[in-house]
Amino acid sequence: MIEQVFRDEWGRVVASLVSFLGDFDLAEDVAQEAFVLAVERWPRDGMPANPGAWLVTTARNRALDRLRRERTLVAKTRLLEVPVPEVEVGRSTVPDEQLELIFMCCHPALATEAQVALTLRALGGLTTEEIASTFLVPPETMKRRLSRAKAKIKTAGIPFRVPPEHLLARRLSAVLAIVYLVFNQGYGGRIDLSAEAIRLGRLLCRLMPGEPEVHGLLALMLCHDARRRARFADADLVLLEDQDRSLWDAAQIAEGRAALDRSLALLGRGPYVLQGAIASLQIEQPIDWAHVAALYGELARRTRSPVVELNRAVAVAQAGSPQAALDIVERLELDDYPYLHSTRAELLRRLGRAEEARAAYRRALELTRNEPERRFLQRRLNER
């Protein structure tokens, strides 16, 4: 119960404190102290009516005590000339500062890895140890990286604000890229990062309801994640057409489709809306592969990404033209990319060119590190 409140409130509390104190480190420290205090007191005294406000107020008071002790009151804080309001700050009465915090954590002047780590720490409430385990580094290393990133925010003057109109599109796509990166690191590790990314996606939708790309990203993540349980059978990879649909998460699919509808209603046609639309089409029965191919075509024109072209080729093949698909694949310069070779192998197999197919499967097998994928390719090689 308390743990759930903590997960829900951490980001809001930290954001509010960073805004108030103008100091990320101090904000995190006192937020941590307030949460520790809550663990002691709430079970004894009962949960406060507004846990979030209790945490913010307690943490603020801690920060003020600390700053007074340090006697650097004015120098260290932005707002302390103003008397501190001791009123209960309710959920609906304070502006939500989490958006400012996201834009600060995902500022392109920080290393990508630092952006991910800061976002997970500040907004996701993951501990430094948990983040370290997802990056496969010792906790001490992650601690240093986080401190260095926070020091840069302070020293280099990375702003705590939603970027102005002329910067917004670019910066928002940087934020979405970080959330999507978190999502894609999601499978396998001890921490469920895809669930974390979806949580961040929902938060962004609530904070920026007018941005189609935000809803597009949420749709994309939900439609993919909904198929998670069907994607593996006893740790073996199951292709989309062979998946057991009863294992798909109907509630996630419904939420994903609703998010997609909102993004389309906002006239979105950006990369995440397109990918969300594709992910949604892929859970239809039957799948309209021609439509999927057309959307990949639009996405490829926008992103100029050969990986997207490769996906278009798969859709073209599924729509009934394996030869046209192979023609697309042969044009791509992605020789180190295992999926190029596995896709090419699959197409050659379907076109009855068995020997060439086997060579391509072998090449894919050389390049793939992922165990379930390796077993899948090996099964294909062993057929006939």
Partner 1 sequence: MQYAVLIYEKPEASDRLSLEEQQAVSDEYMAIHEDPRVVEGARLQPVEMTTTVRMQGGETLITDGPFADTKEVFGGYYLLEADDLDAAIEIAERIPAARLGGAIEIRPLMYRHP
Query: Interface with partner 1 by CB under 8 A: which residues?
Result: 107, 109, 155-159, 163, 167
Cβ-based nearer residue to partner 1, 107 or 227? 107
Total Cβ atoms within 10 A of residue 37:
15
For residue 265 the two structure tokens come to 């209603």
Q: How far is the CB of 204 from partner 1 (least distance, A)?
A: 20
Secondary structure element (H or E) that encloses residue 363, with its range? helix 354-367
The answer to whether 39 and 158 have CB atoms below 8 angstroms apart is no
Closest separation in Å from C-beta 148 to partner 1: 14
Query: For residues 68 and 161, which CB has a smaller minimum distance to partner 1 in the complex?
Result: 161
Query: How many other CB atoms are there within 10 angstroms of residue 292's CB atom?
Result: 23
Nearer to partner 1, 39 or 74 (CB): 74
DSSP for residue 163? P
CB of 20 to partner 1, least distance (A): 18
Residues near 333 by beta carbon (within 8 Å), at least 6 away in sequence: 306
| Beta carbon of residue 153, minimum distance to partner 1 (angstroms, whole number) | 9
Question: How far is residue 261's CA from residue 276's CA, in Å, rounded to a whole number?
Answer: 10
Structure tokens at 185: 């690191």
Q: Closest distance between partner 1 and the C-beta of residue 165, in Å? A: 13
Taking the complex as a whole, the smallest distance from the CB of residue 108 to partner 1 amounts, in Å, to: 9
Which is nearer to partner 1, 20 or 296 (by Cβ)? 20
Which of 155, 382 has the CB closer to partner 1? 155
Torsion of CA 167, 223, 310, 308, to 10 degrees: -10
- Beta carbon nearer to partner 1, 109 or 111: 109
**Judging by beta carbons within 10 Å of its beta carbon (0-12, 13-18, 19+), is residue 126 exposed, middle or buried?**
buried
Q: Omega of the bond prior to 286 within 30 degrees of 0, cis?
A: yes
